[in-house]
Amino acid sequence: MNYDNRRIDVAPGISLEARVWAGGDGATPVLCLHGLTRNAADFDDVAQALARTGRDVAALSLRGRGASDYDPDIKNYFPTTYRDDAIKALDDLGWRRAVFIGTSLGGITTMLVHEAAPERVAAAIINDVGPELAEEGLARIGSYAGKTEGPARDIAEAAARIRAINAVAFPDETGDEYWIDFARRTFRETPDGWVLDYDPAIGAALAANGPAPDLWPAWSALAETPTLMVHGELSDLMTDPIIEKMRAAHPNFDYVRVPRVGHAPMLTEPAAATAIEDFLKELDRSGA
C-alpha cells in the first residue's frame, strides 16, 4: 500500500511531514509518533499492516526530523512542543480522536497529548518508555544524539554506523540487509554523501532542556484510557522496577514484553504485532 505525503503547518515557517495510509472503514484512526532521532519511516511496515485492517493511519515526522522543517530555536525541540504539534496534526487530518502509537519520545508525547486533551486520545500504545527513564539508557542516548562524523560515503558505511549504535538493541539481527534497510530509514542521501536524517541541534536541545517535564501526572491520567505498554526485554531505558511503579499509578494497562529486543522494539516483532492486533480488536469490540 502506498502512502500520501501531507504537509502540516504547525508554526510560522515550520511544517511537518505526515505519511498517510487510507484504510477507510470508519474504525478509529491511528497516529504514529517516533523516537528522538528517528522519523515517520520507522512506521512504514506497521502502518501498512494497520491500514489493511481498515484503519486510516498517519505517521508524523516531528519537527527537525525526516522531511519536516528544522526549528531554528532549539528550545522548541521539547516534548511540550511536540504535544502541541500532534494536536495540530489531528486537526489538519480532520480526526476528532485517534489511537496513538508512540515509540520512546513519541510515547512521551502521547502521554502529554492525553494530559492536555484526553478527548483526542482514544487509546495509547506506549513503546518502551514511561514517566521515569533509566539513567543508563539516557546516558547511551545522550552519547550519540546530535554527534556527527561527517557524511558516510555510501549506504554500506551508513549501515555500519547505525549498526554500531543499535546492534545492542537487536542482537539477533546479524544480516547486512537488515542494517542497510535500517540506514535507509535513518539517513538521507546528499551530494556530499549519506547524513543522519535529523537536525544535529536535537542533541544540544536534549542536553540543555532535559528529556521531558514531570511525566508522572500524565501517566496517571491515562488510568481511565485503554493503554498497551510494549517493553523490550533488553531495554536499558525501561526496567522492571519502573514498570512496577507504573502499575501502581495505572493498574490496568495491557503489557507485552518483546523478547531479545532492546530500546526500542520496531513493533513488527511477532510478540508486539500480535499484542497490538489484539489490543485494537478489543478496543473495537468495546466501542472506545
Query: What pLDDT digit, counting tens, does each position of 143-168 carry?
Result: 999 887 899 999 999 999 999 999 99
- The CATH topology of domain 4-145+210-286 is Rossmann fold (3.40.50)
Closest by CA to 101, choosing from 80, 129, 133, is 129
The pLDDT value recorded for residue 280 is 97
Say what percent of the chain tops pLDDT 70: 99
Mean pLDDT of 231-244: 97
Contact 160, 179 (CB under 8 A): yes
- 123's grid cell: 487509546
pLDDT in tens, 162-205: 999 999 999 999 999 999 999 999 999 999 999 999 999 999 99
pLDDT tops 80 at residue 25 = no
* CB-based contacts of 52, cutoff 8 Å, min separation 6: 1, 23
Average pLDDT of 205-214? Answer: 93
State the alpha helices, DSSP H only, in the chain.
44-52, 79-93, 105-116, 135-144, 155-166, 176-186, 201-209, 216-221, 240-249, 270-286
Predicted pLDDT at 251: 94
Average pLDDT score over the chain: 96
Whether the full predicted model's pTM is greater than 0.95, yes or no, is: yes
**Which of 63, 1, 17 shows the shortest CA–CA distance to 36?**
63
Q: What per-residue confidence (pLDDT) applies to 149?
A: 84
pLDDT of residue 1: 66
DSSP state of 97: -
Residues of the chain with pLDDT > 90, as a percent, come to 94
Residue 288 pLDDT exceeds 80: no
d(CA 215, CA 238): 14
Tens of pLDDT, residue by residue over 75-97, are 999 999 999 999 999 999 999 99
- In the chain, where the domains are located: 4-145+210-286, 147-197
Give, to the nearest 10 degrees, the angle between helix 176-186 and helix 155-166: 100
The pLDDT of residue 147 is: 84
In degrees, rounded to 5, the angle at the alpha carbon of residue 90 between the alpha carbons of residues 243 and 87 is 60
Q: Are 83 and 218 in contact (CB under 8 A)?
A: no
DSSP state at residue 198: B
Residue 68, classified by CB atoms within 10 Å of its CB into exposed (0-12), middle (13-18) or buried (19+), is buried
Q: What are the residues whose beta carbons fall under 8 Å from the beta carbon of 142, sequence distance 6 or more?
A: 203, 206, 207
